[in-house]
A and B are shown apart, each in its own frame.
Chain A
Amino acid sequence: MSLTKEQIAQRIARELKHGFYVNLGIGIPTLVANYIPSGVDVVLQSENGLLGMGPFPTPDQVDPDLINAGKQTITTIPGSVFFDSAISFGMIRAGKVDLTVLGAMEVSEQGDIANWKIPGKMVKGMGGAMDLVASARNIIVAMMHTNPKGESKLLTRCDLPLTGVRCVKKVVTDLAVLDITPDGFLLRERAPGVTVEEIQSKTAGKLVVPSTVPEILF
């Protein structure tokens, strides 16, 4: 069985370490906040100007002046702080954010990422993604292993315009957990019941398969 989006988020949440400052992108990455392990104290950074993002508000807590980078209404946790966009990207650029989780359209075996533009079709812009991938110390990509047409999103080289080069460290898909290594995508874990052969057939970039590939446990 391939993982649901929630399970991808749940698996990524295990990468969070006590004391981390974490930036979660839009989509699956946002769901990671729901699975932070107990006893692991992390602070969520929202690049529109907040450290200490809390859960979504109850109807009476909604404040139009308080949103996350996905423009969703949110709340703050005790100890939170607001700041302007220059400081926000300053702390990102200076490497103060420990982990960035973001979605992608394509990832290459060298860790290049494409997620902001499909020429002639979709032009939404890069938002803060280019700044994040250029500076974050640790970047995990959360995405489906293949696109809606069934084509691999893990490639030798990205076809789409790049967001950043040689920056992704780990990819968690609905089929597998893979590390980016100098030798290519190193298959670390597979979704329960998903075979190495299936992952191989859906990975266009170079896949390195160790002798044992454990299933992801939930």
Chain B
Amino acid sequence: MNKVVAGPDVATHDIKDGATLLLGGFGLCGIPENCISSLVKKGIKELTCISNNAGVDDFGIGLLLQRKQVRKMISSYVGENAEFERQMLSGELQVELIPQGTLATRCLAAGYGMPAIFTPAGVGTEVAAGKEVRNFNGKDYLLEYAFDADFAIVKAWKGDTMGNLIFHATARNFNPLMAMAGKITIAEVEELVPAGSLDPDAIHTPGIYVHRIFEGKNYEKRIEQRTIRKA
């Protein structure tokens, strides 16, 4: 079984205007840079993007926002992006803010084949508006639904030709969850190796969840807050 495709343009060939995308990453850490560039280049519009953050003005999902390719963002934290804030306050961009753990677990539910979850996050806040509340053992929980997304686009450190993935450090974040949650999952990796080269015990995402894989190029890996101490 070989899931390798030539590159980001081929991997995203059937993403059409109006698609719903899950995009991995936390801030700019572990984002699928190659696929985002491809979507920007192709000018795919009216996207619904589900991602923890919205990039910065000139990098990550910010590049799609800059060109007004995004209709709706579903995120937990969207600071650090002036253009995003402008589009949101002017009403050009729809924004749904949801708790970070809820975002993660709605991905997990999709990947686990479960329609919904109950979480205490947001009980008693405006996040709970219109949602079913259920009491278990004296504590209230909100019903939250599994994501239903057309594509998941993730970034891994290593992958093999069968689509098995290994992530590095905190660049793992939402990537393995979103990989499980897409109807079609596209993985871009820093290093693509033949099947059999990865230790089966060390694989984070089983290849069954991954439909297309390619080795990305020219990763910038931009750092948002370079914080250092004196040597």
Contact = CB atoms under 8 A, between A and B. Distances in A.
B176 A84 contact: yes
Interface string A56-76: 111110111111111111100
A49 B75 CA distance: 17
Contact of A128 (B76, B120, B125, B229): B76
**Chain A: interface residue count, which band?**
35 or more
B85 interface: yes
A80 to B, nearest CB: 10
B155 to A, nearest CB: 10
Contacts of B169: 50, 63, 65-66, 82
15 contacts: A50-B169, A64-B223, A65-B29, A65-B171, A67-B223, A69-B26, A71-B29, A71-B225, A89-B101, A93-B120, A116-B97, A124-B78, A125-B77, A128-B76, A163-B125
Nearest to A131: B101
A126 interface: yes
Contacts of B35: none
B122 interface: yes
Interface of B: 26-30, 52, 75-80, 85, 88-89, 95, 97, 99-105, 107-108, 119-127, 157, 167-177, 204, 221-231
Contacts of A58: 228-231
A46 B100 CA distance: 13
A85 B124 contact: no
Contacts of A65: 29-30, 157, 168-171, 221
B101 A93 contact: yes
Interface of A: 46-50, 55-60, 62-74, 82-86, 88-90, 92-93, 112, 116-117, 120, 123-131, 134-135, 161-165
Contacts, number: 178
Given A64-B29, A92-B101, A131-B100, A73 B173 contact: no
Given A58-B231, A63-B169, A164-B123, 13 more contacts: A59-B231, A67-B225, A71-B27, A84-B204, A85-B101, A89-B104, A93-B119, A123-B78, A123-B89, A125-B75, A129-B99, A130-B122, A165-B124
Contacts of B127: 126, 130
B29 A127 contact: no
B229 A127 contact: no
Given A57-B229, A123-B85, A73 B172 contact: no
B134 to A, nearest CB: 14
Q: Which 8 A-B pairs have the closest CB atoms?
A: A89-B101, A131-B101, A165-B124, A124-B79, A85-B104, A64-B221, A134-B120, A130-B99
Given A88-B104, A123-B97, A82 B228 contact: no
Most buried by A among B89, B107, B123, B172: B172
A49 B30 CA distance: 12
